[in-house]
Amino acid sequence: MKRLLLPLLLLTATFTYAQQFGGNPPSIKWKQVNTPVARVIFSQGMDSAALRVAETIQRMNRLIQPTIGYKQRQVSIVLQNQTIVSNAYVGLAPFRSEFYLTAGQNSFDVGSLPWPEQLAIHEFRHVQQYNNFNVGLSHGLRVVFGEGGQALANALSVPDWFFEGDAVYNETLVSRQGRGRLPYFFNGYRSLWAAGKDYSWMKLRNGSYRDYTPNHYPLGYMMVAYGREQYGNDFWKGLTHDAAAFNTGFFPLQGAIKKHAGIDYTDFRTAALNHFKKQFENDESDIPANKNQHFIGDHEYPAYINDSTLIYLKTTYKHIPQFIIKTGNKEKAIAVQGITTDNFFSYHDGKIVYAAYRPDIRWGYRNYNELVVLDVNTGKEHRITRKTKYFSPAFSADGKTIVAVQVAPTGKSELHLLNAADGKLLSALPNTAGLFYTFPKFYEDDKLISAVRNSKGEMSLALIDIKSGTTKYLLPLSFEPIAFPQVQGDTVYFTKTAGLNDRLFALAVKTNQLFEVKGAPKNGSIGYYQPAISANKLAWTGFTAFGYQLNEANRSDIQLTPVTNSQAFSSLPDMGISVLKNDSASNVSASVKPDSLPITNYSKLHGLFNFHSIFPSLNDPNYSLQLVGNNVLNTFQSQLTFTFNRDEGYKQIGYEAAYGAFFSYLLAGADYIFDRRGFYNGNSIYFNETSIHGGLQVPLNLSVGKHSTALSLSSSVYYSRNTFQEAFRSMFKDSYYTYLSNTVSFRNQSQQAKQNINPHFAQSISINYKTAISGRDANQLLTTGTFYFPGLAVNHSFVISGAYQHRGQNNGIGFSYDFPFSHGYTAENLDDMNKVAVSYHFPIAYPDAGVANLLYILRLRGNVFYEQTHATAYNFYTDGSEFKANFRSAGAAIFFDTKWFNQGAVSFGVRYSRLLDNDIFGGSGRNRIEIVLPVSLF
């Protein structure tokens, strides 16, 4: 069955987020800080984080409004503290935000500011954007279609690079850090420029399956920052207003840039990129250009087994992450890494330890990092902790103890010492200073060294006494990020931002002498990350246009050059954007005070229905309008639908609701269809149909290790009543029936690399059984299954699928028809059907080409298939005899994986089917050509 939404609605997928319906257990009690600007909703114990978010927003709101606009509508922000994921979003449809409050370990990535503050600074800018982009045609679509209409219009008029680039600029403006000051943030473009990669604008915007391309965050920052530097701080305010209002033509933002900057869009973006390219012009001096080399792979976190042998994690576009041992130029794969939120691991004496991701079995906002120990010699691994939130584990010198960072749901960071054999907690070190620990390592037998962040976001290396927890700062506190410490004897090697680069330093702990590591060749890479030290070797990773590449040097060939604190520490660079200092909002976050805002209870029933959008849908012969609602806590979903059926001409009004705050979802719905049409003795008869249903669904997430696994159990009761219209009531009696529908769905799949068309191993099985319980006799069993296997080449896929349906003879109920009939045939709902299908999928080409900033083709892929359905129907003919037939088809399809308008991903295809049997229920001829459209574009 094909579903085609109105063409202009395809880009709303750009602003659809992976929200977790019913993701929190009912035991959580919610509170709120309610201000005119934002309602911050949080669970008990998170008062300080909620107040910091609310206070940060209040303090900066008025100061940053002049550069985007003064329209203000209160947003609800839900603080999620049960997850180990570091992320956040603001979305329309519905208008809400969620902050995931566990900070990441890598301070180079998004900086070291306190995580709730960082999220408030970045995400609230999105709130201001949406509030002020409700203008012109965007406002018109909002009036007609609700918040979803504005989301569509904003996606079509203002590109995603502006949304994120403007928010990153806000980080950089209102704080002393922000990604716009971090060299790491620019590594992607620096590597492309250094390697002489001159990709087209459409390739930079849409990505590639063959080549590395940076995401839209750094691109957006460079465009936004250059615009404010060159044309003033209010440049983007009027420009985006015109774009969102569609005042400047088919390409609204391009036309608005021409209007406000006085130059073409092409010239503007070239000038913006050249501005930043000039800041890093020295990168090109010792980096060889290799314009024809495609992405090689990421080689991360090297560790020495001995001077000649390294172990590291390798990820390519064709292969999922694997632990690799390399001796000389020979690589040997040890094992596949389990599912993780980051790639960090630690090695010692034949053992690897890393933190593996595991979701809660039911609650989507609750998940864990559990420690896994891998035996390098056997490739076997075992979990030594359960339901923990550990990060960056590291072995002690004797391999008997592991230190790891524990991040509690409150956000408190602690160092835990664990038994390496069984994961038993030995001790938790006190953290009276409220530090956030990253990448701890053992130093001698009784101390630890860790990169730390204080409550302001300043960083240092800290020496921590294991027995007392006493902390000593080894370096001055600074906003320059520090990460990846490695201990070698009395010396700690680590990476720290210094000027325009992330450099490698060494600290002699006992003498407190700081050195910069010099003489280590860049070998075509940007930055020095993840150092590893052996007796005679030094290894590290550097970023290139082909991925993180491994570099090595003899320790005898490098120099430890003494540096003073004044030489090694300074303020972060502005990357040539001087206007960062000439704004009333500059570094305003430093002036946020812990004001006493009122805290009250938040009702779980607040705004329960919250209808926010109308979505049109075409599902021929059904044409629908759907009024959709979601509450802020995302525990209640509801949908009111009006449908017109073109075949019968009937009209249908329906309502569906789901409540997900309990362990089982509560499901309910009702439908009323009027003017249904049937035939009797050659004449049309009309009747109305009323149906209601209610049930339960239990969605379980059983993922663990290297596989994602889900099991869903549901059961619903359906009641239906047919009422004949007045002209036919003397001929027919009203009728009713009740039936039970039970479904079991199971999905399991291995991890999937970027170029893999399908996962190498996956299974999807569904069983549905419907049976009447009153009014009529009827039953129907439908089972489907699809199984994925590797093909002849790494990106090929072999798929076997099957289906079986059985309906009781003389069924009194016309149950819904979901059987996957053979391609090309006109399908009918027959009593007994079984199907077997095989298909082979393969990539054809990676064009990396587009047209007029409208359509970009990343990949062409094809498949060949054979399908066979055998069907039987009882009492099919007028004489009561049985019907039997085969419906076999074979053919091929070509699919196009594309991006539209430089951001909306859509895959579609053309399928040819050769019918090997007669199409008994349809047209003539044996050849069928079909357009295969997305099942859903939302």
Encode pLDDT of 756-767 as tens digits: 999 999 999 999
pLDDT at residue number 878:
63
pLDDT at residue number 290:
65
**Average pLDDT over every residue of 326-334:** 94
Any residues with CB less than 8 A from the CB of 205 and at least 6 apart, and which? 159, 161, 216, 219, 856, 899, 902, 903
- How many angstroms separate the Cα of 620 from the Cα of each of 1, 145, 514, 648, 649? 9, 21, 71, 12, 12
CA distance 722 to 642: 19
CA distance 561 to 555: 13
Helix/strand/coil (H, E, C) string of 266-284? HHHHHHHHHHHHHHCHHHH
CA distance 912 to 893: 6
* pLDDT of 525 above 70: yes
Confidence of residue 937 (pLDDT cuts 50, 70, 90): very low
pLDDT at residue number 610:
95
Q: CATH number of 298-566: 3.30.70.20, 2.120.10.30, 3.40.930.10, 2.40.30.10?
A: 2.120.10.30
pLDDT at residue number 15:
36
* pLDDT of 543 above 90: yes
Encode pLDDT of 237-293 as tens digits: 999 999 999 999 889 999 999 999 999 999 999 999 999 999 999 886 555 556 789
**Average pLDDT over every residue of 150-175:** 97
CATH 3.30.2010 corresponds to the domain 28-132? yes
- When mean pLDDT is compared across 9-18, 129-138, 391-400, 495-504, the lowest value belongs to 9-18
| Cβ contact 246:157 at 8 Å | yes
Higher pLDDT pick, 887 / 728: 887
Q: For the chain, what are the domain ranges?
A: 28-132, 135-294, 298-566
pLDDT at residue number 13:
33
Confidence of residue 879 (pLDDT cuts 50, 70, 90): low
Confidence of residue 17 (pLDDT cuts 50, 70, 90): very low
| Cβ contact 208:848 at 8 Å | yes
Encode pLDDT of 39-73 as tens digits: 999 998 899 999 999 999 999 999 999 999 999 99
**Average pLDDT over every residue of 157-172:** 97
Q: What is the mean pLDDT of the chain?
A: 92
Query: Cα dihedral angle (188, 189, 190, 196), rounded to 10 degrees?
Result: 110
Entry field: residues in the chain: 938
Encode pLDDT of 652-690 as tens digits: 999 999 999 999 999 999 999 988 766 556 666 778 889
**Average pLDDT over every residue of 846-860:** 96
Encode pLDDT of 356-402 as tens digits: 999 999 999 999 999 999 999 999 999 999 999 999 999 999 999 99
* pLDDT of 874 above 90: no
Confidence of residue 7 (pLDDT cuts 50, 70, 90): very low
Encode pLDDT of 825-834 as tens digits: 988 888 899 9
What percentage of the chain's residues is helix, strand, coil (to nearest 5)?
Answer: 20, 45, 35
Higher pLDDT pick, 596 / 216: 216
User: Given the structure tokens 């299974």, which residue do they identify?
Assistant: 763
Q: pTM score, two decimals?
A: 0.94
- How many angstroms separate the Cα of 290 from the Cα of each of 184, 211, 287? 22, 12, 9
Encoded tokens for 333: 């794969």
DSSP secondary structure letter of residue 522: -
Helix (H) or strand (E) holding 651: strand 651-659
